Structure 1
Amino acid sequence: MGNHNHTHNFTEQFTFSGKLKTWTLIAIVVGILAIAFGFVTGQQERTFANLLLMAYYFTCVCATGLFFIALQYVAQAGWATGLIRIPQAMSRVLPIASLILIVVCAAGLMTHNLYHHWNGEGLTDPASPNYDKLIAGKAGFLNVPFFLTRLVLFLGAYSFFAWLFAKYSQREELEGGLVFYDKSFKWSAIFLIVFGFTTPIWAFDTIMSLEAHWFSTMFGWYNFAAMWVSGLCVITLIVILMKKAGYLSWVNENHLHDLGKFIFAFSIFWTYIWFSQFLLIYYANMPEETVYFYKRWEPEYLPWFWLNIIINFLAPLLILMARDSKRQMNRMMFVCILLLCGHWLDYYMMIMPGTVESHRGFGIIEIGIAVGFVGLFTFLTLNQISKRSLVSTNHPFLEESINHQI
């Protein structure tokens, strides 16, 4: 196996063991205890809402790993080849994340702790005192069998593409040549079309339908922007932490700079969508649409409403604007952690006001379930990273990635 650069060990393999593995398992236990606490104390609605939040966040981050891989193939970009193992590992966790999300949504539907705005008793029955004309008009789309069918089809399709890309990557590493690169290129183009059309519907179903009387045609892209920024932050954070641990010697400040540019750009895009969704209600003179934002201006949510925009817009704008900021590991690590917390808050603001009618608050359930899912994601992703060498030696763009300079 010939090395492109003798200072790098391209057979390098990450070892996932010791304290790191122990801490991830402890975090998972904390999450399980927080879920149990929520149910035992009679806060089912709040517990389900937090389970949905973290299951959706978990699945979105894994799906971003898949999207990142496909984007590199279709753009024929070489810069990310040296760190592609990380999004590959995230994408291989996607089937597990998808299964958890489907179970949470199905259980929430059956117990009426989620989606009760359209899945309540008698809402579509004209003879019922609970009849809701607006919800009845949406019943052809918003009904339990069709809802779960869409969720399973979309997440099943994403998981299939994740398996396919992993298979092609392994074959490329074993056999070399351009055959499997070309196949990955072709299937990446197909995946991006599928993902582009289905991601907004996935967001409409899973999150927007929690408040089924309100809708926004921008909501899908608002969710996509949040998903993409969060996934990029996770990729960047893993790269930085692995470099600090002595791995990925071929990844340098130029790769970090490119990741920083993506994070900066799409944080601005997220803000554009966030503000457009907010502004268009005023601009189009639709007072009936203000109900969505009115809920988020209630006293317990108003501070979070403003903190959301401060963290997710002002922080990357002020910290990542300068070129040097995107090339410093510690500064990038701080921004990534901040934005991951910020987009957790973003999802919290999307889900909680329309879901949790009683037992509102912030405490053990929110923090514990978040810690549990972070532990689960870390355990599964690092376990996948440890299964293969940290670089694809037969990738046609490896040389370009190693010599990447901007």
Structure 2
Amino acid sequence: MSHSRPRIDTAGRRARLGRRQLLAPAYRAARTEEVADALVGLHASDPATVHLAACARLAAPDPADVERALYDEGSLVRMLCMRRTLFAVGAALAPVVASSTAQAIAAKERAGTVKWITEGAPGWDERRLADVEARTLAALRAHGEATAAELAAEVPDLRDTLVVSPGKPYQATVAVSSRILRTLAAEGRIRRGRPRGGWTSSTFRWRPGTAFADLAAPPAPEARADLARRWLASYGPATVEDLKWWTGWTLTATRQALAATGAVEVDLDDGARGVALPDDLEPVAAPEPWAALLPALDPTAMGWKTRDWYLDPEHVPQLFDRTGNIGPTVWWCGRIIGGWAQRADGEIVWRLLTDGGGTSLPERRRGSGGDSEAAAAVTAEAARLAAWIGDVRVTPRFRSPLERELSR
């Protein structure tokens, strides 16, 4: 007797997205930690993204709450982990992320740094590297926090330089401190502290951290299963390839982790086959219609490799940069329908690329109202964003063509 697979259509996936990614107003969170847990981590390559992504999902958006979690309480931890990308994850999840992904990435960082510095910097070997690292960590513990320049004043060896890409058009002379500090951070031994400027600043101080090797972390297979379970609960149903891409694992490791979760195969729209947790097969009611303005590299926008069910492929060239980083996006009920930007005078502007029903718009529409329910909701969200962002100016680190155009 044949057994048909459960089916979860695109409407069901979008309903889950609005609720579980905390984007529908009724599901917004009270604290930043709730947002990070719901998304299994916030993208942190661009400092502004952490604040914008969290505040888009907070019932009372406030950058101070994000700073509280990152710097005052340490309940969010920045880690170089999935896809060798910087994330801010909940402190309780950090051991799982360390064992499942970050430790392997840190090992590669360590090997690369040893090769880079011992082959390119005269007078450096592994013994000297270890000594410089030990003195750097001691200086940081003594000061509590310090910039790279302040550490170099205490440990002059950090000022040594070497030439990278010699003979190339992009040849450069760099200090060894940048690579050494990056490696220590990748291992969890140091961590980023409060930025020297506002919350959009990339200039920061370092603080002592906890090496991943010292965390009470589960074995790697168990950690991968735990991370896969959490990801499916937030992003499922999805394809095996989606999880493989999101984590950066091998296909074998991905399949083993999914098997350990008890995930079952489901049919998706367009003939695709996905996986879902066994307790997530029943229909999910769609939340009330919602709109959201999400930042560049938002975790939801970057949550899946296959995006056709929430993003029209025709709009990819306008919303992504050339290396695959998504810019600021406008969402309506589980679909990306446009993009937004902030101008130099602080105005939040946006353009719809499709209407609320998914029909492409030939004319250019900016955030000045509109007659559709979607346009009205986007206008309200733009006002909400402008209200809390105040005098702060945000320019994404990775800029999409549409964001550049709108910001002029």
Higher helix share: 1
Report the TM-score, using the length of structure 1 for normalisation.
0.26
Structure having greater relative contact order (Cα 8 Å, sep ≥ 6)? 1
Q: Given the two structures, how large is their TM-score scaled by the length of structure 2? A: 0.26
Q: Which has the higher strand share?
A: 2
